[in-house]
Amino acid sequence: MKRRTFIAKTTSSAAFLGLGGLQVDAGSSKSRKHLTILHTNDVHSHIDPFPTVHQEYPNMGGLAKRASLVANIRKENPNTLLFDAGDIFQGTPYFNFYGGELEFKLMSMLRYDASTIGNHDFDNGIDGLLAQMPHAKFEFLSANYDFSDTVMNGHVKPYKIFWVEGLKIGVYGLGIALDGLVLPKLSKETRYSDPYEIATDCEYELKIRQACDLVICLSHLGYSYTDQKRPDDLGLAARTKYTQLIIGGHTHTFLEKPTIVKNGIGNDILVNQVGCYGIYLGRIDFYFEDVDKVGTDVARISIS
């Protein structure tokens, strides 16, 4: 047993020192699995790249370019999931003219797996959202919006489990408080509940009851607020135990790299958000190995 421990330590320290070749060898074996998570947030109907003369983001973004990037990554690793953290709608005339139809059709063509619902996704009312549902071939996840008394009943799930190469990936969604952001005539009978409580329930269900290998939250709460009463992603991270990645939105926060934070039981987890308008694509790679090769309970996180 002592030798085992020594082996585990040696392999992991070697990998840590950057022997990339070794990692690739190990990755090609069945005992090491590689999952890639790609994500966007707050794309706000930005279908085309920004114009060359744009003062902030000249020539950046665009669905057709995002599509080729995503396709290349899928080619490199077929075990890839693609998510959005809400506010798909509103921001260019594509939305005013076509009501979100093109956004949903293109996300389906890019093979998005799931999205949560942002406050602006209510901008044409709950009826306007329902009208576009036939164009979406991906899941809508929101655990703390209750749509059961609305026309959207049955179109939104609290969470979903994705099976990827034998790995069980549990994903749940969270939305922001509607009061003051979404007019009641638009959200109608949609009911909002405290996201922290719901998150705790969801991650327990996914990690403990359903034994998921990984739990991810798609959040439209916002990255961080000075007002402590407003739930945010950093607050969520500090209150959860089993969620390993929070993909955020709403605050249009351009994180250069994912933030590493301590969760409710002192483990390091990631909170990420890639600004807005499809200018960036977030990429998180998870590697899974046999239990006795991992050595410790906590995964090594490297950020670039």
Partner 1 sequence: MNLKIQHFVIFLTIFGLISCTKQPQKLSQISGKRLPIASSLKVDDSIDAFIAPYRNRLNSVLDSTLAIAAHNISKTDGAYNSSAGNLMADIVYAEANPIFKMRTGHTIDFVFLNFGGIRAPISVGKVTTRTAFEVMPFDNSIVVVKLDGKTVIKLVDYLIESKKAHPISGIQIALDATNRPSKINIQGKPFEEGKDYFVATSDYLLEGGDNMVFFKEAKEQTNIDYYVRNAMIDNFKKVDTLSPVVDDRFYKMN
Tell whether residue 242 is a contact of partner 1 (CB under 8 A): no
Tell whether residue 281 is a contact of partner 1 (CB under 8 A): yes
Angstrom distance (rounded) from CA 110 to CA 64: 9
Q: How far is CA 174 from CA 5, 249, 285, 304, in A?
A: 40, 10, 22, 27
Q: Residue 55: left (phi > 0), alpha (psi -120 to 50), or beta?
A: alpha
Least distance CB 54 / partner 1 (angstroms): 6
For residue 147 the two structure tokens come to 């749509």
Tell whether residue 294 is a contact of partner 1 (CB under 8 A): yes
Least distance CB 288 / partner 1 (angstroms): 4
Choosing from 74, 188, 239, 283, the residue that interacts with partner 1 (CB under 8 A) is 283
Tell whether residue 208 is a contact of partner 1 (CB under 8 A): no
Q: Which is nearer to partner 1, 96 or 148 (CB)?
A: 96
Least distance CB 146 / partner 1 (angstroms): 20
* Closest among 221, 192, 168 to 41, alpha carbons compared: 221
Stretch that binds partner 1, among 57-65, 76-84, 188-196, 230-238 (CB under 8 A): 57-65
The b-or-e profile of 68-85 (16+ CB within 10 A means b, else e) is eebeebbeeeebbbbbbb
Angstrom distance (rounded) from CA 61 to CA 107: 14
Tell whether residue 68 is a contact of partner 1 (CB under 8 A): yes
Angstrom distance (rounded) from CA 26 to CA 78: 17
Stretch that binds partner 1, among 22-30, 202-210, 216-224, 233-241 (CB under 8 A): 22-30
Which residues within the stretch 169-198 sit at the binding site for partner 1 (CB under 8 A)? 179-181, 183-185
Least distance CB 83 / partner 1 (angstroms): 14
Tell whether residue 94 is a contact of partner 1 (CB under 8 A): yes
Query: How does strand 259-262 pair with strand 268-272?
Result: antiparallel
Stretch that binds partner 1, among 48-56, 74-82, 132-140, 152-160 (CB under 8 A): 48-56
Stretch that binds partner 1, among 30-38, 78-86, 129-137, 227-235 (CB under 8 A): 30-38
**In this structure, are residues 159 and 173 in contact, taking their beta carbons and an 8 Å threshold?**
yes
Contacts of 90 (CB under 8 A, 6+ apart): 44, 45, 120, 123
Q: Which is nearer to partner 1, 134 or 197 (CB)?
A: 134
